[in-house]
Amino acid sequence: MFITKMAQDLEEVVVGDKTFRIVSELGKGGQAVVKKAYDSASRKKVALKIMWKEFVSQRQRERMLHNVKIEITAMRNLRHQNIIQLYGYDLSSTYKNRECIVLVQELAKCGELFEYVQHTGGFEDLLAKKIFKDLMSGLDACHRAGVAHRDLKPENILLDKKYCIKIADFGFVNFFRNNETQEERRMRTRLGTRTYMAPEIELTRNYTQAVDIWSSGVILFILCSGYPPFKEPQDGDWFFNKLDRRKYQMFWAAHERRFTFPDVVKPLVEGMLCTNPDNRWTAQDCLNCEWMTNGEELEERDYRITMQDRRDRIDAIRNQARPVENEQTPSATRMANIKKGGNANRALEDEKEGVVVFEAAQMLNNSWRDRLRDIENEGSLREVFGLMAEENPKLSSLAEVEIINLEATLEHLHTLVSSSDVQQCIELDDEKANEMLELMRSTLSDRPWDPIFQQYINLENDFPLELHDKWVKPTLFSFDTMLGYGLLCVLLAEFAEGKGEMEVDPDNRTIDLTFETEKTQEIPTDETCEAFEEITVDVVLTIRFSLYRVERDGELIGNKLLVQQVSQDFAAQDDFKWIVNEIASMDDFIVARIDPE
């Protein structure tokens, strides 16, 4: 297998006698990336799962190759309309000069089920029934073949161009039955996604394919209501506790303060979320239940129309109007003047065809600190002091000031922010020390200089942005902006202060904001379910901001900011959209926006 670069700027991937041209990125994780591609001969569209062969030890390498071979064997054995198909693979490939394994798979062009539930809410009864039936049909085919998926969740359930359900991502798959001897074995590895993980995986490390039924039961609950049945499968969770103790009346009474479940669905959920795996329903039990067999079905045409409507609603959120400009802060006014070509006293290096990228080195820098950082001896230091005296007459005697500790002054003066620290280096009274610091505080962004600004400047210089093009997977929210990576860090840090935590990942040019909040929910006070009380539920929301540069004909025209929710807490959906709109309403954010041409 080899990869070349085409004149049309499309990469070619050759697997056996077939050549695939990569079109865009569908998703990526720590050790893999999924690309949309097409067969250059037949034009058939496919998904390429590319897994990096980079290991810290030989044991890790052997384990990874062993797991991939199981994944390939399982997918080759599974031929079902509700399971993603494997067309081909290569165990010894190279992509972007990195050794990798490539799986050529069926393309599901309408995305993840997760996105539809996350952004449009719970599904109507017949719609949920249609999707769940297809999911169970695919899972039943897996279990009949002796295959356990072990990571079922809405992100791993895809939809093709006709919105047909496809079970995908068999990276955690394993065989629980020898198809020749029919002997079954138990599995022990702890894996999966916490919200959908069956309790026996954590408790016993000794489990069967019934873990897939548990995960599907959580998915069914989410399909119907738009939120999960519990936060975590542990006894301290009130809702899980009621399931575990079979106090179903209390479980449903609490949930139906928010959403009314059809009575015919409740026994199905209870059977799938039975904490004793020996008594848990099978896929066939689910398909034969009253809800699945009562004759009420959604016509295929109506199903597609309904799903297309939900897809249109997601697109509408992406394209929604942005907040209007309010009265601007001094920082935003300064940025607006630069954007219009004003402030001729200070040039910006990356101004091209009237478009400015607000880089940290310009917006967050202080020229006096730059000069003080570069001095190497007392003579140079006093020269800078003289220039500061020319700038501010109140510092007229600064060039002759007594230097208390020359070594400390040369090394640290450019980093100091308090008058008392300055006075430990040079002999100044409080008034003159503050006047000196006033000169050292100004930045082009009109924010007082902060020591962390230099870190942001270094990040921006050391980690240039990657190009935003057709390879990059779109997110719910995106903005064309003139913000550089450093200034974006500053804006998000200001927003998160006192509200949440910020984590910067310069390697991937991302910034995560994490917020913790509490939401109240009513639960019955006893088994009569006649009286209710409120409990608080912890909600964690993590939002990821990814910044890319945008070029046209090789010229920089601005940056692209992609925003997505990476935490899986459905209770945080409204908070996510509210926070993104609040950030988009910040003055500097508005000024830095690039309006569509």
The dihedral sign for the CA sequence 179, 182, 185, 187: positive
Q: Distance (Å, rounded) from C-alpha 564 to C-alpha 132?
A: 26
Q: Distance (Å, rounded) from C-alpha 356 to C-alpha 483?
A: 9
Tokens at 35, concatenated: 């690309």
Q: Which residues make beta-bridge pairs with 430? A: none
| Closest C-alpha to 68, from 15, 32, 38 | 32
Q: How far apart are the first and last CA of the chain?
A: 42
The dihedral sign for the CA sequence 16, 43, 29, 76: negative
Element containing residue 24 per DSSP (H, E): strand 18-28
Element containing residue 141 per DSSP (H, E): helix 125-144
Q: What is the DSSP string of 268-286?
A: HHHHHT-SSTTTSPPHHHH
- Catalytic pick from 151, 212, 244, 588? 151
Q: Distance (Å, rounded) from C-alpha 335 to C-alpha 191?
A: 49
Q: Listing from the earlier edge strand, what are the strands of the sheet with 477-481?
A: 477-481, 555-565, 532-552, 510-524, 500-505
Dihedral angle of Cα 552, 554, 560, 564, to the nearest 10 degrees: 110
Tokens at 374, concatenated: 């570069």
3-state secondary structure of 373: helix
- Collect all residues with Cβ–Cβ distance below 8 Å to 264 and sequence separation of at least 6: 290, 291, 294
**DSSP 8-class letter at 395:** G
Q: Distance (Å, rounded) from C-alpha 15 to C-alpha 73?
A: 18
The dihedral sign for the CA sequence 254, 255, 258, 261: negative
For residues 455 and 485, the answer to whether their CB atoms sit within 8 Å is: no
3-state secondary structure of 444: coil
For residues 309 and 303, the answer to whether their CB atoms sit within 8 Å is: no
Own/partner pairs, 417-423, CB within 8 angstroms, 24+ separation:
417/449, 417/450, 417/451
Q: What is the 3-state secondary structure (H, E, C) of 499-561?
A: CEEEEEEHHHCEEEEEEEEEEEEEEECCCCCCCEEEEEEEEEEEEEEEEEEEEECCEEEEEEE
Q: Distance (Å, rounded) from C-alpha 484 to C-alpha 511?
A: 12
The answer to whether residue 169 is catalytic is no
Going by their DSSP bridges, the two strands 18-28 and 11-15 should be labelled as antiparallel
| Closest C-alpha to 189, from 218, 150, 153, 156 | 150
Q: Distance (Å, rounded) from C-alpha 411 to C-alpha 373?
A: 8
Q: Distance (Å, rounded) from C-alpha 210 to C-alpha 200?
A: 10
Which residue carries 């009346």 as its tokens? 249
Annotated catalytic residues are 151
